[in-house]
Structure 1
Amino acid sequence: MISNSKPTLAVDFDGTIVESKYPKIGKPILFAFETLKKLQNEGFTLILWTYRSGKRLDEAVEFCKDHGIEFYAVNKSYPEEEFDETISRKIAADIFIDDRNVGGFIGWGNVYKELVGENLSPVTIPKKEGILKKLLNKLNTK
């Protein structure tokens, strides 16, 4: 098993990392990948725990890799685990991050704050130009 002092996180894909568009892959949810990278860098173990299987699962795993996240395990508690229909599919994780939580998904900034006890540093969150600033810039160039 995992031997670090940080919790193991089981993270859902559709509706949590990306917008719910199953069977397609939706757009990344705001700060999902930035937060997951930061948590991983801080020693949290990440497991992808999703309804997806087969080709759809492979697409989700590749999408996450393309965005800089590789999971310790996918739909299992540890990489070497073999699926066996005679045992429970429950994942051995400390915390489950899912859009189907009671009360819904709390957002990645709040996830980070709950797990680490601080807000994400503005340095780790890419700043985007707001719509009002874009509009003002467009008006000023005319």
Structure 2
Amino acid sequence: MNFHDKLIIAIDFDGTIVEDGYPSIGKPRIFAFETLRKLQENGHRLILWTYRSGNRLEEAVAFCNENGIEFYAINKSFEEEQFDTTKSRKIYADLFIDDRNIGGVLGWGEIYQMITNEIPKMKIPKRKKGFFSFFK
């Protein structure tokens, strides 16, 4: 995929941005927030698209805000959208990123590369030396 225009991207929370720990918040998946911040910097609009509601949703939004992500909309196509029984609840987006996709969710580096057609430039955490490395 090589998208030249700015995209609207709907992203699931549990199992996608963070490891699935619902109703708690799981640990962030590796490179999830780095990738989302980079996509926002590139001008893409991010929508949080999750099963969560009420306090659980507020916790997820706050967690994302603490990690540098402010969504264009949350469980809506745009912030001002009002739902009623005459409208579809389906969100309008160019792409959907969800762990429930056929084949599961890809790694965030691969997701970024597919969207931007670039190899991500992210800092890779240094691995600690294991016990057996001292015997080499």
Is residue 15 from structure 1 mapped to residue 12 from structure 2 by the alignment?
A: no
Alignment-derived partner of residue 125 in structure 2: 128
TM-score by length of 2: 0.90
> Is 1:60–2:60 an aligned residue pair?
yes
Partner secondary structure for residue 114 of structure 2: helix
Instruction: Kindly report which structure 2 residues correspond to 1:103-142, keeping only aligned pairs within 5 A, or say none.
Output: 103-121=103-121, 125-131=122-128, 133=129, 135=131
TM-score w.r.t. structure 1 length? 0.86
How many Å apart are 1:135 and its aligned residue? Answer: 4.4
- Post-superposition CA distance 1:31-75 (Å, at most 9, x none): 000000000100111000000001100000000000000000000
Shift of 1:128: 1.6
Give 3-state SS (helix, strand or coil) of 1:64's partner.
Answer: helix
**What RMSD in Å do the two structures reach over aligned CA positions?**
1.8
Q: Which runs of 5+ in 2 are unaligned?
A: none
Looking at structure 1, the residues matched to 47 and 38 of structure 2 have their Cα atoms a distance apart, in angstroms, of: 15
Q: Which aligned pairs between 1:80-119 and structure 2 lie closer than 5 A?
A: 80-119=80-119
Task: Give the letter for the 1:128 counterpart.
Answer: P
* CA distance, structure 2, for counterparts of residue 134 and residue 118 of structure 1: 33
Corresponding residue SS for 1:19: coil
Residues in 1 aligned to 2:110 and 2:125: alpha-carbon distance in whole angstroms: 19
Q: CA deviation at 1:126?
A: 2.8
Structure 1 residue runs of 5 or longer lacking an equivalent are none
Which residue number corresponds to residue 32 of structure 1?
32
Q: Which has the higher contact order (CA 8 A, sep 6+)?
A: 2
Q: Secondary structure at the match of 1:47?
A: strand
CA distance in 1, matches of 2:87, 2:77: 13
Q: How many residues align?
A: 132
